[in-house]
Structure 1
Amino acid sequence: MAWLVLLLVVLMLGAAVLVLLLDNLVAAVAAASVVSLLLSVLFALLAAPDVALTEAAVGAGLSGAVLALGLRRLGLAGIKAEDDHA
C-alpha cells in the first residue's frame, strides 16, 4: 500500500511540474486535471470515498472545463473557429 501511495504522489508531483513547464496551455489544463484525478485515487485508497468523488467531480471535471472554456474565450486555446464563406 505504501508503494502505491508513493507512486501516486510521485506521479502527481510530475504532473504538477508539467503544468508549470508546458508551453501549450490546453496541455497544462489537462495536466492539472491529471493531478486532481490522481489525488482522487489517493483519497479512495485512504478510505475516503466521499472526498474522492468530490475531488474527481470538482477538481478534475468542473475546474478543467472552466479553465479550458476560459482559454477558449480568451483566444489562447489554439482552436480556430471555422468561418462560413457562403
Structure 2
Amino acid sequence: MFLSVIIAVIMIFGAMWTIVTEDLFKAIVIFAIVSLSSSIMFLLMQAPDVAITEAAIGSGITTALFIFTYKKVEEEKDER
C-alpha cells in the first residue's frame, strides 16, 4: 500500500515535470521513468502480463523511438 502511494506520487510529479520542462531530451527521460513506474505499479496490482508489456513497449520501444526522433530533429537543426 505505502509503496503504491510513493510510486503514484513519483508518476504524478514526473508527468507534471515532463510537461513543464523546456529541455526535450530531459522530458523524454522523465517520460521513460514515468512509464517504468507505471510498469511497477501494474506489477504491484498483480498484473504481470500488463507490467511486462508496459515495460517492453512503454519504457523500451517508445523511449527508443522518441530518442531516435530527437536525434533526427537535432541533426536537421544543425544542417540549417
- TM normalised by structure 2 equals 0.89
- Give the paired residue count: 77
Q: Which structure: larger Rg?
A: 1
Give the counterpart letter for 1:29 in structure 2. Answer: I
Secondary structure (helix, strand or coil) at the match of 2:63 reads helix
Counterpart in the other structure of 1:67: 66
| Larger helix share, 1 or 2 | 2
Structure 1: runs of 5+ lacking an equivalent:
81-86
Distance across 2 between alignment mates of 1:53 and 1:16: 21
User: What is the distance in 1 between the residues matched to 2:12 and 2:52?
Assistant: 21
Query: Please, which runs of 5 or more residues in structure 2 have no aligned partner?
Result: none
Superposed CA deviations along residues 12-71 of structure 1, whole A, max 9, x for unmatched, are 001101111111111100000001100000111111111000000100111001011111
* Residue identity (%): 32
Runs of 4+ more than 3 Å apart: none
Q: How much does 1:4 deviate?
A: 1.2
- Give the root-mean-square deviation of aligned CA atoms: 1.7
Kindly report which structure 2 residues correspond to 1:43-58, keeping only aligned pairs within 5 A, or say none: 43-58=42-57
Instruction: Give the alignment of 1:1-80 within 5 angstroms.
Output: 2-75=1-74
Amino acid at match of 1:43: F
Secondary structure of the corresponding residue to residue 75 of structure 1: helix
- Corresponding letter in the other structure for 2:53: T
- What's the TM-score, normalizing by structure 1? 0.83
